[in-house]
Each structure stands twice: as C-alpha cells, then as structure tokens.
A and B are shown apart, each in its own frame.
Chain A
Amino acid sequence: MILVLGGLWIGQNINLLPVDASANAPVYDELFRVLFSIGTILFVGIVGLVVFSLVRFRRKPDQLGDGLAIEGNLPLEVFWTAVPAIVVLFVGLYSYDIYDRMGGMTPLNHGMDHGGMQHSAADHKAMEGMDESDAMAGRVWGGIGNGSAISTSAENAVAAVPIEVTAMQFAFLFRYPQGDFISGELHVPAGQPVSLRMEAKDVIHAFWVPEFRLKQDVIPGQPTVLNFTPTRPGTYPIVCAELCGPYHGGMRSSVVVEEPETYQAWFNANNKLNVADA
C-alpha cells in the first residue's frame, strides 16, 4: 500500500523531463508519469523483496539444514502471470490512446496535396491502390500526421504551416514553400499547426526536438512527415539523433517558436515570392 502510494507520489512529483513546448508534450508527460509510477512501484517492490530475502533468509552460522522444499504454487503463479499481462495490456492501450492524440495513427497518405501534386481528398480511396507506383514521388513513408498541408476537418480546419526539411551531412535546411526561401534555423508560430516534410540528401539523419518530445528519422529516398503544434515561445535545440558520420554530434540547429506576429514579421522579411509578385 505504502509502496503503491509512494510510487504514485514519486511518479507524479519527480520531474526528469525538460520543459514542454509543443501541444503533444504535456500528453507525452502524462504517459511518462504513468509509466514512471508503475515502474517505481515494481522496481522498489522487487528490490525490497530481494533485499528482504537476503537478510531474512540468509544462512546463520548455526544453521546446517536446507530451506523449504517448495517447488511451486499454482495460484501464485497464475497470479503473477495474470497481473503483469493485465498491466501491459492496460499500458499498451493507454499508450495507443496517447499516440492517437499525438496524431500518430492518422493514415499517412490520405489527401496528399503537397509539393504541387494536386489530388482531391475525395479520391484517396483510389489513390491507396496507386500508392506504390503512381504516387511514388509524393508518397510519405512514415512519420506522425499525414502528408497534407491542410489539416483535416477534425482539427478545426486551421491551415498548417508547410515546411520542407532537408537533412544532409551535417546540417538541416528549412524551406518555406509559401515564401520560397530557405533558412538554416526553423521558425514556427506558437499555437499554429506545423507540418514538416522531410527528406535526406545522403545518409539517414533524425530530427529531434527534446522540448517537443518528437523525433522522426529523415531518410534518403523516403520522405517522412512530422506534424506538431508548438505552444511555448522560446528557442529550443534541434538535434540529429541518427549516427550520420564524424560530425554527427555537431549536427544541431535550433527551432525558434515565436508569437504569431513576430513570426509573420520574420516571414515577411524573408519572403521572396512577395517581392517578386509585387
């Protein structure tokens, strides 16, 4: 009992994570606290049992005999098969739910209208069949969220900011197709969904922002996506998390989360299309 309460307390009150700066980070932290609580209870319980047994049942100098000849205990064994099974099932379903809330279960290739390829969302049924061949160039192979720049109806139809990420040894480049310019630093507006479409030039890299709790490999030949909504203005590191060569450790960049007005100002200052159009 004390163990359970103690574990819950530790899980809820000890914070091992950096600040949260995206909409899914608090959701992630919720999962983390649940896992941390369960883990603490289990770990402390088992270590307690081991230490207790070693102290309580150690052989004292005058004891020559054996221990008890207990070879098994069916109810007990059923108990410790069933309880972990239920716990992992619960954890699995719960994390599925979390993942769904992060947008991870969105089908990847529905309603692609990215990079100039215009497909109507209505015929995505037909598209699924063609994924392999026809839509090769626009196909998204993995990631979180779908390849669509326009969020689907469920997300109150706010337009996501599309950004094309290119990773190469040993840097990230961010291209803003709406303004046709390239930046070495990722700027995003707080409170607005962002959709990264990522591809690597040479070897596999990974795009990781610890404060967003998000990571996605950037793979040569296989575009991936990462959708998220930044929440907390600030500057956070972008870290490459996949071994990509000698300077892998130095392959870093930053993401600047700004108030929408500041972002807009930055965007306008860089916008090339506007200049050309005007």
Chain B
Amino acid sequence: MTVSLPPQSEQHTPSLQPTGWLRYFSFSVDHKVIGLQYLVCGFLFYLIGGALAGAIRTELASPMSDFMPRDVYNQVLTLHGTVMIFLWIVPVVNGAFGNYLIPFYVGARDMAYPRLNAVAFWLIPPAGLLLISSYFITGAAQSGWTAYPPLSITTPASGQMIWILSVLLLGGSSIFGGINFIATVLKLRRPGLKLMQLPMYCWAMLGTSILVVLSTPVLAGTLILLSFDIVAHTGFFNPGLGGNVVVYQHLFWFYSHPAVYIMVLPAFGLVSEILPVHCRKPLFGYATMVYSIMAIVVLGLVVWAHHMFTSGTPPWMRLFFTIATAFIAVPTGIKFFNWLATLWGGRISLNSAVLFSCGFIVNFVLGGITGVALAQVPFDVHVHDTYFVVAHFHYIVYGGTVFVIFASIYHWYPKVTGRMLNEPIGRLHFLLTFIGFNLCFAPQHWLGLNGMPRRVAEYDPQFAFINQISSVGALLMAISTLPFLWNVVASAFNGEIAGDNPWKALTPEWLTSSPPPVENWVGEAPLVEEPYGYGVPIDQIDLKATSGRDLWSSGK
C-alpha cells in the first residue's frame, strides 16, 4: 500500500541509499522508511493472523471438532496468538508509529542509532516467516502463545523450538527498538525543548521502552531455559526431573503482563495526539497524563501473578496481586477521564480518526472493567482460562489497540502520502469494524461465565448458538478490512491532495511538507513548546458567537 507513494521531492539530492519505491525493500536507515516498513510488514502479518482467526471461528461454529484435526487446531491457535502479538501489535504500535513520529516530536533528523534501527526491523520478516513456515515444514507449536511446560516439553519438539527461536528474534528486535527510543527521547531533543513540552506519545514510548528493556530479557532467558529442557533434557521446568512448572509461569508473566502495557501504552499516546487536533482543544491534564504513564509502568511490573490465581500460588500472593492489579485501574482511569475532558467543550470533527478513537475509549473501558473484576481472586477463580478472559483481552487488544492503529492510519495517512483517505469509506470501515467486533466478543463474556473454557476445539452443544453469533461477528470483521484496503490503495493514487497540514495541527511532523523530506525539515527543526496549544482562552470567547450553554459547559 505505501509502496505506491508518489515520487519524492528529495530525488535531486544525491543519496547512497536507494530512492523511490526500492528503498522500502532496502536496508534503509531513514526512520520514516523504517516506520513504514514496520507498518506494512505488520499489516501483512495481521492479514495472516486474521486468516488464522477465521479458521478458529469456523471450527467453533459447530460444537464438534469437524473443520480441522485437533492438533492442527492447537497449532492454528498458537500461531494466531503469536502472530497477532509479536508480529502485528508490538511492531506496529511501537516500531511503526514510534519510528515515524518520535524523531519529529523531539526535533531530530533521525533516531539515535539508525543502523540498529534498521537491524531491529530486518529481524522481523525472517522471524515471522520462520514461524509461519514451521507449520508447513514440521507442524507448528501446539502449546498456545504461553507455551506452558510440561505441555511445551511434551508436544513435538521441532515446532516448539522454531517457535522459541522466532520469539527470541522478535524479542531481540523489540529490545533494540526500546533502547533506541529511550536514547532518542532523552538525548536527541532539539536544544530548548524541555521534557514536559514533549507530545504525549513520546512519554508513552519512553514508558513502554523502559518496560521492554526491563522485562523482555526475562522472557528471553526463560525461553532459553525452556529450549534446554526440550533439546538437552535438562530439568528446569520438567517435573519428571525435579523441575518446577510454576516457576516458568512466574517468569513468563513477569514479561507478559508488562507486554500487555507494551501493546497498549503507545496506543494511549497515539490517542492523546489525535484527539486534541480534531477536538481543537488542548490535551486535558498533561502533567497527570505523564505521571499516570509512569505509575502504570511501575505498577505494571508488580502484578504478573494475577494470571496465576489458580496455579500453585499461596494465599498471601493471591491477595497481594489482587490489590496491586486493581490499583492499575486508577492511573488508567485518570487517562480516560482526561480524554473525556478533552472531548468536552471541543469543536469535534466527526471523522474516521475520531470515530476510531472514541470506539477505542468505549471498548477499552469495558475491557478495563472486566480486568478489574478479573483481578479479584474469587471472581477469577471461576472465569480464569475461559472465554470470559478471551473476551477481556480482545476488548483491550483489539477494541483498544487495533482501533487506535486504524485511527492513527486515518490521522497520519495525509502526512505520509500527501493525499487524504476517503471519508465515507472510512466511516463505513469504522461501522463494520465496531459492530463486527462487539458481535464477536461481547457474547464470549457469557460463554465464559457459563462454562466454556478457552482453547478448545469442541464444546458443550448448549453453547452452539452463541458461538455462531460470535463467528458471524468475526466474519463481519473480516469483511470490514476490504473497504479499508481499497481506501488505502485507491487514495494513494487519486485521493484528494492533502497539503502539508490538512488538520491544522501544531505538532512538529505537520510543520513540514507531506510527505516530509529525508531530513524531516528543510532548514532548522521547529521548536514546538506547546504541542497542544489549540483553543480559545475562556476570557477571549466572543460572547456573541457562543450560546449560554457553551459557557455553562465550560464551567465543568
């Protein structure tokens, strides 16, 4: 889709790098090229992951295991989770938007380590292909994206080993990216730009990258131990050799709970960029937004055992992790109230970017509420490992993060290509996605509460009808990508010309041409001290132009 960009203006300047469309297939060190490489590559994997989801929902349309063999079902399930997390969400919200936007936001011409950046990206396609090819070569891993031993030790070793290898490569890529973001935000700021003047996405990426750098190495270590258990028959996690299977779960979730924030904090940042522009209002509560990101980072590191309430955990641990988990809702809530206050009293353009952002707010709030409920041990004891949990995290990961990815594509497409996306098709895309998503996942709450466990290929026939509703929702979601794909491809050729700053935004990426030149700005980088300086101060409101209700509403 982005391969078909209109020719760039920088072609007069001699360059060692390939120019034109070829650079998107090269080892480019331009952060904008790398960002788009992440985005397009991630999207291709999203289509693969989506096809796998389609296979899962087809199997579940009937209570019998009749669409594919049971072990293939488990492979599909494992691939779906791994692809969606490690090849779509994480690379796109971090790698794609982070690379494209962060240098602009800090006023730099590129990331701190451009070459490391390119290496980080180029680890992804081979790792992804390796993972997918394992299905065709030896059969993919069958133990879910969590790969709990002893199941992961006893299922066919080759598939599991390839899974470990590719997750290690992807983890490496993510660590390289994280280091680069931290260095860029802290060290490459343009002189005169203070930390508390940065756009919120920089803070979100700083927090995320801290989590990446602290927790991903733990996952890497754990998976290496697991691979020793598989190939060298060591006994770290093998109860037959005196190992302890629950230790693996602790180590795994020490990474994987922070990982859920690695998937959602950048989305929080992106929404904070999108809403003020289209509401023509400053971002409400900048400082509390920053503090709540940091609070989420700290708390996010000490809640992992809420995934293990029914494992072999002693009572005191269950209590501690309940309280810690529930408290994450406080900083998260602050962010949501701040967005609501940003909407309040604005002049909101109801375009696709805003619709997807508001869809995100609605979906995430539901996912957050079920999250707080799941944090309560007695509640979780009933619904752990059921479709209730499946519903919870899809509300967060899809309803939250994927909605934000779409919002961001609608928002930044004009910058990247110089052309606008088609609005009516965009709204149709939103409508189909929103309805399809809720139809697919809302009923799963009920399934979980009433006795359907997750990761099953066959189930009690009493649940057939609700599962069919869910499958119809999934079909709708699949259909909803068609108008999107059409829109993105067609608009690249004959979309309306956008101009440099179609949204009249103030953040630095808009203060240059669309698409931007290789060096980001011709001449010096602009110093943006108030990235959210929209709006009319209350005392300057033209009284004649506003109604009494406007004044009343500003009193909130």
Instruction: Report whether B347 and A237 are in contact in the complex, using a CB–CB cutoff of 8 Å.
Output: no
Instruction: Report whether B538 and A69 are in contact in the complex, using a CB–CB cutoff of 8 Å.
Output: yes
Tell which of A71, A215, A222, A240 touches B382, judged by Cβ atoms closer than 8 Å: A215
Instruction: Report whether B280 and A92 are in contact in the complex, using a CB–CB cutoff of 8 Å.
Output: no
A181 contacts chain B at the CB level, 8 A cutoff: no
Which B residues lie within 8 Å of A241 (CB)? Answer: 310, 384-386, 453-454
The binding surface of chain A is classed by DSSP as mixed
B314 contacts chain A at the CB level, 8 A cutoff: yes
Instruction: Report whether B334 and A81 are in contact in the complex, using a CB–CB cutoff of 8 Å.
Output: yes
Over the window 375-388 of chain B, the binary record of Cβ atoms lying under 8 Å from chain A Cβ atoms (1 yes, 0 no) is 01111011011100
- Chain A interface size, as a band, is 35 or more
B50 contacts chain A at the CB level, 8 A cutoff: no
Instruction: Report whether A70 and B535 are in contact in the complex, using a CB–CB cutoff of 8 Å.
Output: yes
In the bound assembly, the distance between CA atoms of A84 and B314 in angstroms comes to 28
- A217-B312, A245-B155 known; A65 vs B545 contact (CB < 8 Å): yes
- A31-B378, A141-B312, A243-B74 known; A42 vs B369 contact (CB < 8 Å): yes
Instruction: Report whether B381 and A144 are in contact in the complex, using a CB–CB cutoff of 8 Å.
Output: yes
Instruction: Report whether A68 and B345 are in contact in the complex, using a CB–CB cutoff of 8 Å.
Output: yes
Q: Could you say which of B73, B329, B337, B556 has the most chain A C-beta atoms within 10 Å of its C-beta?
A: B337
Instruction: Report whether A88 and B329 are in contact in the complex, using a CB–CB cutoff of 8 Å.
Output: yes
Which B residues lie within 8 Å of A219 (CB)? Answer: 239, 245-246, 311-312
Residues of chain A from 92 to 113 with CB closer than 8 A to chain B in the complex:
92, 95-96, 98-99, 102, 104-108
Which B residues lie within 8 Å of A58 (CB)? Answer: 348-350
Stretch of A160-168, A201-209, A264-272 with 4 or more beta carbons under 8 angstroms from chain B: A201-209
Instruction: Report whether B312 and A142 are in contact in the complex, using a CB–CB cutoff of 8 Å.
Output: yes
B523 contacts chain A at the CB level, 8 A cutoff: no
Q: List 9 A-B contacts (CB under 8 A).
A: A42-B369, A46-B361, A50-B340, A59-B347, A69-B282, A72-B288, A105-B319, A219-B239, A249-B457
Instruction: Report whether B312 and A224 are in contact in the complex, using a CB–CB cutoff of 8 Å.
Output: yes
Which B residues lie within 8 Å of A56 (CB)? Answer: 553
Stretch of B14-22, B105-113, B211-219, B444-452 with 4 or more beta carbons under 8 angstroms from chain A: B444-452
Interface size of B by Cβ–Cβ distance < 8 Å? 105
In the bound assembly, the distance between CA atoms of A102 and B286 in angstroms comes to 44
A4 contacts chain B at the CB level, 8 A cutoff: no
Closest chain B CB from A222 CB (angstroms): 5
Residues of chain A from 192 to 231 with CB closer than 8 A to chain B in the complex:
202-204, 206, 208, 210, 213-217, 219-222, 224
In the bound assembly, the distance between CA atoms of A233 and B180 in angstroms comes to 62
Which B residues lie within 8 Å of A246 (CB)? Answer: 69-71, 73-74, 142, 457
Kindly report which residue of chain B lies nearest to residue A59, judged by CB atoms: B347
Instruction: Report whether B376 and A57 are in contact in the complex, using a CB–CB cutoff of 8 Å.
Output: no
Instruction: Report whether B246 and A141 are in contact in the complex, using a CB–CB cutoff of 8 Å.
Output: yes
Tell which of B142, B336, B450, B533 touches A46, judged by Cβ atoms closer than 8 Å: B336
- A70-B284, A142-B313 known; A17 vs B143 contact (CB < 8 Å): no
Closest chain B CB from A94 CB (angstroms): 8
Kindly report which residue of chain A lies nearest to residue B155, judged by CB atoms: A245
In the bound assembly, the distance between CA atoms of A167 and B454 in angstroms comes to 18
A77 contacts chain B at the CB level, 8 A cutoff: yes
Instruction: Report whether A203 and B534 are in contact in the complex, using a CB–CB cutoff of 8 Å.
Output: no
Kindly report which residue of chain B lies nearest to residue A79, judged by CB atoms: B337
Instruction: Report whether B154 and A203 are in contact in the complex, using a CB–CB cutoff of 8 Å.
Output: yes
- A59-B348, A67-B280, A215-B310 known; A222 vs B245 contact (CB < 8 Å): yes
A133 contacts chain B at the CB level, 8 A cutoff: no
Kindly report which residue of chain A lies nearest to residue B333, judged by CB atoms: A84
A137 contacts chain B at the CB level, 8 A cutoff: no
In the bound assembly, the distance between CA atoms of A243 and B74 in angstroms comes to 9
Which A residues lie within 8 Å of B287 (CB)? Answer: 72
A85 contacts chain B at the CB level, 8 A cutoff: yes
- A70-B282, A203-B154, A217-B310 known; A208 vs B347 contact (CB < 8 Å): no
Residues of chain B from 349 to 391 with CB closer than 8 A to chain A in the complex:
349-350, 354, 358, 361-362, 365-366, 369-370, 372-373, 376-379, 381-382, 384-386
B344 contacts chain A at the CB level, 8 A cutoff: yes
Over the window 14-35 of chain A, the binary record of Cβ atoms lying under 8 Å from chain B Cβ atoms (1 yes, 0 no) is 0011100000000110011001
B346 contacts chain A at the CB level, 8 A cutoff: yes
Instruction: Report whether B288 and A249 are in contact in the complex, using a CB–CB cutoff of 8 Å.
Output: no
Over the window 124-145 of chain A, the binary record of Cβ atoms lying under 8 Å from chain B Cβ atoms (1 yes, 0 no) is 0000000000000000011110
Instruction: Report whether B365 and A69 are in contact in the complex, using a CB–CB cutoff of 8 Å.
Output: no
Over the window 516-541 of chain B, the binary record of Cβ atoms lying under 8 Å from chain A Cβ atoms (1 yes, 0 no) is 00000000000000001111111001
Tell which of B150, B341, B534 touches A202, judged by Cβ atoms closer than 8 Å: B150
Tell which of B310, B346, B370, B450 touches A17, judged by Cβ atoms closer than 8 Å: B450
In the bound assembly, the distance between CA atoms of A50 and B69 in angstroms comes to 45
Which A residues lie within 8 Å of B358 (CB)? Answer: 50, 54
B425 contacts chain A at the CB level, 8 A cutoff: no
Which B residues lie within 8 Å of A243 (CB)? Answer: 74, 143-144, 148, 151, 454-455
B191 contacts chain A at the CB level, 8 A cutoff: no
Stretch of B32-40, B120-128, B320-328, B475-483 with 4 or more beta carbons under 8 angstroms from chain A: B320-328
Kindly report which residue of chain A lies nearest to residue B377, judged by CB atoms: A99
Residues of chain B from 149 to 167 with CB closer than 8 A to chain A in the complex:
150-151, 154-155
Which A residues lie within 8 Å of B419 (CB)? Answer: none
Tell which of B286, B535, B550 touches A69, judged by Cβ atoms closer than 8 Å: B535
Q: Which 6 A-B pairs have the closest CB atoms?
A: A221-B239, A249-B456, A69-B535, A141-B312, A142-B312, A210-B451
Which A residues lie within 8 Å of B314 (CB)? Answer: 108, 141-142
Tell which of A43, A54, A59 touches B369, judged by Cβ atoms closer than 8 Å: A43
Instruction: Report whether A67 and B281 are in contact in the complex, using a CB–CB cutoff of 8 Å.
Output: yes
- A59-B348, A67-B279, A246-B74 known; A80 vs B538 contact (CB < 8 Å): no
Closest chain B CB from A102 CB (angstroms): 6
Closest chain B CB from A65 CB (angstroms): 6
Closest chain B CB from A78 CB (angstroms): 9
Which A residues lie within 8 Å of B23 (CB)? Answer: none
Which A residues lie within 8 Å of B310 (CB)? Answer: 142, 206, 215-217, 241
Q: Could you say which of A98, A99, A143 has the most chain B C-beta atoms within 10 Å of its C-beta?
A: A99
Kindly report which residue of chain A lies nearest to residue B328, judged by CB atoms: A88
Closest chain B CB from A264 CB (angstroms): 29
B1 contacts chain A at the CB level, 8 A cutoff: no
Instruction: Report whether B344 and A53 are in contact in the complex, using a CB–CB cutoff of 8 Å.
Output: yes
Which A residues lie within 8 Å of B240 (CB)? Answer: 220-221
